[in-house]
Structure 1
Amino acid sequence: MGAGMTDADRDDARTADGAARDDRGAPPDGRRQAMRMSVELPLWRALTGYRILTLVYVLGLFVVAYPHYAHPLGAAAYMGALTAWTAATWRRTTSPERCTRQFLVADLGVAVGGILLTSVIDTQARIMDGAATLPSIWTAGAVLGFAIKGGWRWAAVASTIVAVVNLVERQELARDTVHNVVLVWVASVAIGYVVEVARASERTLARALQIEAATRERERLARDIHDSVLQVLAMVQRRGTAIGGEAAELGRMAGEQEVALRTLVAGGLLPRQRAVPAAAADGDPAARPAVADPPLPAGPCDLMALLAPHVGAGVTLSGPGCPVALPAAAAAELVAAVGAALDNVRVHVGADARAWILVEDEPDAVLVTVRDEGPGIAEGRLAAAEREGRLGVALSIRGRLRELGGGAEWISVPGQGTEVELRVPTGIAPEGGRRGRARA
């Protein structure tokens, strides 16, 4: 019976740990607890119910056959012991932790002892006529315990022992006896195999969720690095080259580190955001103006008020005359994405380029459009920039909105400027609630 799973394997099978997420993307504790629910637990509960119901059935058989036993008092003593054993150990089969190997062996011993005792207590004529053994179908519960606990190998060993003992008690290969023992053997082995497959599936799910958690954390760090460290390195490179001398060497080293860091953070692109200042686009992010994010309130906030600091001589903001309410975290991510789009305008069109921000409060979403008067974006340029490690679009714009359940679309005609449409579904809950459908 040593072919069963280890305790560590069973623990892995009972737990499918969800991805560890921060307060903007994590499922609540209740949902994480639901992930830990194992498919094994219903089987243990069913086994407990089976043992109780079959005990009632066996006692009924005993009452009917009582006058026909050769030693009815002996049968009554065994039934009393079987009842006491089932009552005393019913909690043992409610969970894998309580159902130990020692209990399973003892439980099987009670069943096997009852089968062998039948040949002493019952008459030979009744035995040859196919009368039920003292424990009858209660024996199958002991075998199923082995199946659920240790898989099909344990089930095969336990059911084989029961089959041999039944044949010894009957003293011949009667067709009904063979039929019954084969049925128990096949059923227990099949259930044991299903349990092993379920455990393997749960371990696979747990591993996938752990990988997802690690990937999300890595990508969150990649976003933060792109929005802060890379900007500083690019600025040092640019200023050092302009100053010359020893500063030029420092700038060259900063440039090398920027390239290496871009290559590193380009390894995985799933969004995991925090509210950060407006980030770099797919151009050089160095030494350009950035608008500081205003402090966020605890509850919903007005998107128009958060976008107001971006308005200047070259940027026009238009929108509804009433507040456009969004959860604070979602509004911060949307404002940061708008800031990244405006950074693109400054880098690719020019510091004095004009841009327009249009906010539309639709019934099911908030749509923010950033339009410029630049030369437009060549076809395939965004995908090429992402491959080169310039992640402004991938992380700071599209990644932010995708995490919120929204999306971003670029509409660009060469020579006629570019429009970036940023959509966030309303009613979203960045803390783990409902999300809309992503468009990008």
Structure 2
Amino acid sequence: MSVELPLWRALTGYRILTLGYALALFVLAYRDYDHPLGAAAYMGVLTLWTALTWNRVTGPERCTRRFLAADLTVALTGILLTPAVDSAERIASGAATLPSIWAGGAVLGLAIKGGWRWAAVGSTLVAAANLVERGGPARDTVHNVLLVWVSSIAIGYIVEVARASERTLARALRIEAATRERERLARDIHDSVLQVLAMVQRRGTALGGEAAELGRLAGEQEIALRTLVTGGPRPAPHEQPGDGAARPVPPAPREGPRDLDALLAPYAGAGVTYSGPGTPVLLAAGAAAELAAAVGAALDNVRKHAGEGARAWILLEEEPDGVLVTVRDDGPGIPEGRLAAAEREGRLGAALSIRGRLRDLGGSAEWISVPGQGTEVELRLPHPAGGSADSGANGARGAGS
């Protein structure tokens, strides 16, 4: 909802309420007017105008410049007509003009539609009309004029600031959406193209000959692709590209809940031990697939950083408030600051394939590592608010370390 929509609704109510107030003042002072029929004629026009145009101030599209000019003209006409129908004694004593505070609605419409500059013009014209009607700068008239002038300009300025903030927020949301889509595509590339290029580069180097040249080209393309999808700095030339061996890809999501235990079980094999609760752990299809892919990315990091001979353990636990998957290895551990450095260098395993996936589900990822004692990655996916494991994880969030 637009930030200025409540202001338009308030203006609609203001015009109706102030019309009632102006009519009440007129009825109570009817016998005191010098020309009550002339005053009654204007009040009839004011009532009809308000009734026919009440929906013109419900939104900026219908509240045009022409309407605002006509609305202000009706207010100014009523103020300047007051000396012709009312007695000089009543005017001198500070009696209200024919439109009374209804005239403030015309100025507020200018403030909401055009900001403080339009408000300044409208309030200045109303102030001048009030001074002409009173015949001079009486104390109470000056007080009311200044009140309308300052308040309308302040409201106009607030509207301009609110609109600027709304535009800034809209731009930020568009940038965030584009960034999330970029990260999603980067994760998909990391899980497929980059893995294959890294494997070709390693195998080609190991085979030598023409295969080594093919491996070198694959490595260059991997570096270029990493730079493209991350928008970050190009890795140093002496560094070897690649994030790890290729790994199984979880089945594509489908409608309905998925059993996370069934998705994680295929990761078990030589060097990888999997332990589950023995009962289905049901999550929404998309959430289950993303969590399984994050586990696969964590195993890739084990193969790369801990070596092919390292052992890994996957533990799936269902907790009262969510699901916890722990991936632990017996490798050398991660030096302090290495994860942040890897993200800056364009290494996408931890930054996107793990942390990014769980963040998009509303959660986080945590790495616990002591040099020489291996690394433990915790991925936590809470159940939806008020839900359970059986209801899926549409509102879940992930945590990993």
Q: CA deviation at 1:133?
A: 1.4
- 8 Å CA contact retained: 2:199, 2:242: no
Q: What secondary structure, in the 3-state scheme, does the structure 1 residue paired with 2:95 have?
A: coil
Match of 1:256 in 2: 220
Distance of 2:21 and 2:290 partners within structure 1: 64
Match of 2:135 in 1: 171
- 8 Å CA contact retained: 1:302, 1:325: yes
Match of 1:108 in 2: 72
- 8 Å CA contact retained: 2:365, 2:400: yes
Match of 2:330 in 1: 373
Match of 2:237 in 1: none
Match of 1:420 in 2: 377
Q: CA deviation at 1:178?
A: 1.3
Distance of 1:437 and 1:349 partners within structure 2: 24
- Of the candidates 107, 111, 115, which is equivalent to residue 143 of structure 1? 107
Match of 1:272 in 2: none
Match of 1:386 in 2: 343
Distance of 2:7 and 2:333 partners within structure 1: 62
Tell me whether 1:284 sits opposite 2:242 in the alignment: yes
AA matched with 1:224: D
**1:264-299 residue CA offsets vs partner (Å, 9 max, x unmatched):** 33337xxxxxxxxxxxxx97346x342232344422
Per the alignment, do residues 432 and 183 of structure 1 end up closer, same or farther by CA in structure 2, a change over 3 Å counting?
farther
Distance of 2:85 and 2:271 partners within structure 1: 101
Q: CA deviation at 1:103?
A: 0.6
Q: CA deviation at 1:431?
A: 11
AA matched with 1:358: L
So what's the TM-score if we normalise by structure 1? 0.82
Q: What secondary structure, in the 3-state scheme, does the structure 2 residue paired with 1:361 have?
A: strand
Match of 2:181 in 1: 217
| Fraction of identical pairs, as percent | 75
Please show how residues 258-277 of structure 1 align to structure 2 within 5 Å: 258-267=222-231
- 8 Å CA contact retained: 1:409, 1:422: yes
Q: CA deviation at 1:157?
A: 0.5
- 8 Å CA contact retained: 2:326, 2:379: yes
Distance of 2:361 and 2:324 partners within structure 1: 13
- 8 Å CA contact retained: 1:283, 1:348: no
Q: CA deviation at 1:107?
A: 0.8
AA matched with 1:310: Y
AA matched with 2:297: A
- Of the candidates 298, 303, 314, which is equivalent to residue 346 of structure 1? 303
Q: What secondary structure, in the 3-state scheme, does the structure 1 residue paired with 2:316 have?
A: strand
Distance of 2:33 and 2:96 partners within structure 1: 12
Q: CA deviation at 1:112?
A: 0.9
- Of the candidates 366, 370, 374, which is equivalent to residue 409 of structure 1? 366
Per the alignment, do residues 292 and 174 of structure 1 end up closer, same or farther by CA in structure 2, a change over 3 Å counting?
closer
Q: CA deviation at 1:383?
A: 2.9
User: Where do 5+ consecutive residues of structure 1 fail to align?
Assistant: 1-36, 269-281
Q: CA deviation at 1:243?
A: 5.2
Match of 1:323 in 2: 280
Distance of 2:365 and 2:111 partners within structure 1: 52
Match of 1:362 in 2: 319
- Of the candidates 383, 398, 408, which is equivalent to residue 355 of structure 2? 398
Q: CA deviation at 1:332?
A: 0.9
Q: CA deviation at 1:323?
A: 1.4
Match of 1:17 in 2: none
Per the alignment, do residues 101 and 38 of structure 1 end up closer, same or farther by CA in structure 2, a change over 3 Å counting?
same
Match of 2:236 in 1: none
Please show how residues 101-250 of structure 1 align to structure 2 within 5 Å: 101-242=65-206, 244=208, 246-250=210-214
Q: CA deviation at 1:83?
A: 0.9
So what's the TM-score if we normalise by structure 2? 0.89
Distance of 2:302 and 2:393 partners within structure 1: 33
Distance of 1:197 and 1:129 partners within structure 2: 40
Distance of 2:174 and 2:392 partners within structure 1: 19
- 8 Å CA contact retained: 1:283, 1:344: no
Distance of 2:197 and 2:148 partners within structure 1: 71
- 8 Å CA contact retained: 1:375, 1:416: yes
Match of 2:262 in 1: 305
Distance of 1:365 and 1:382 partners within structure 2: 26
- Of the candidates 53, 56, 60, which is equivalent to residue 20 of structure 2? 56
**1:374-424 residue CA offsets vs partner (Å, 9 max, x unmatched):** 333333333333333222122112222222233333333444433222222
Q: What secondary structure, in the 3-state scheme, does the structure 2 residue paired with 1:158 have?
A: helix
Per the alignment, do residues 377 and 174 of structure 1 end up closer, same or farther by CA in structure 2, a change over 3 Å counting?
closer
Distance of 1:58 and 1:432 partners within structure 2: 58
Q: CA deviation at 1:113?
A: 0.9
User: Where do 5+ consecutive residues of structure 2 fail to align?
Assistant: 233-239
**1:7-33 residue CA offsets vs partner (Å, 9 max, x unmatched):** xxxxxxxxxxxxxxxxxxxxxxxxxxx
Distance of 2:106 and 2:224 partners within structure 1: 62
Per the alignment, do residues 211 and 183 of structure 1 end up closer, same or farther by CA in structure 2, a change over 3 Å counting?
same
Aligned residues: 390
Distance of 1:99 and 1:332 partners within structure 2: 51
AA matched with 1:236: V
Per the alignment, do residues 348 and 168 of structure 1 end up closer, same or farther by CA in structure 2, a change over 3 Å counting?
closer
Distance of 1:350 and 1:301 partners within structure 2: 32
Per the alignment, do residues 431 and 364 of structure 1 end up closer, same or farther by CA in structure 2, a change over 3 Å counting?
closer
Distance of 2:45 and 2:215 partners within structure 1: 86
Q: What secondary structure, in the 3-state scheme, does the structure 1 residue paired with 2:362 have?
A: coil
